[in-house]
Amino acid sequence: MPKVLVPLAQGCEEIEAVTVIDILRRADIEVISAGLDAQPVRASRGVVLLPDTTLEEALLQEFDMIVLPGGQPGTNNLNADARVINLLKRMSAQGKYVTAICAAPSVLAHAGLLDGKKATSFPGSLNSFASVNQQPAAVVCDGKLITSRGPGTAIDFALTLVELLAGKAKRNEVEAGLVRA
């Protein structure tokens, strides 16, 4: 079974965090949410999230994918955490999936992972990174780097991650259960 890490920083975007965790778990993918510290996470709109563990504990495990929710100041908090940056670089070097939504692709860019790569983000979040080939799509895949635009694209983003980890049939099964149309 694939294993996914979702780091939760204070001020993260709750729609993105909860949607990704929920949809991946619907697909029977193991998801570990990890707070940057041992405190409950107060998301950007005041929703309080209780991570499964701390990032420190999560770092003792191996993951197939990391998913960074965006939001502010959550993205800035992820970007300021050297453990997150080092983990992103290590997972990318190991050929693992490195993914981010909303403003969080800027953390990937800060880590040097989007140089010359196609990516998308919340409008303006990648403007200071000239080496990124910005795309207007809801979800952009460039190898094992997957990015998405924001809260409104969270379901599409999460379903793309399901497809990458568990296949098209599992994506279709999960999507049918969401009754999107």
Please tell me the number of Cα atoms within 13 Å of 75 on its side-chain side: 23
Catalytic option among 8, 24, 102, 113? 102
- 12 is annotated as an active-site residue: no
Per DSSP, the three-state class of 145 is: strand
d(CA 146, CA 139): 7
Helices (H), 31-153: 55-58, 74-79, 82-93, 105-110
First to last CA, the chain: 29
Catalytic positions: 102
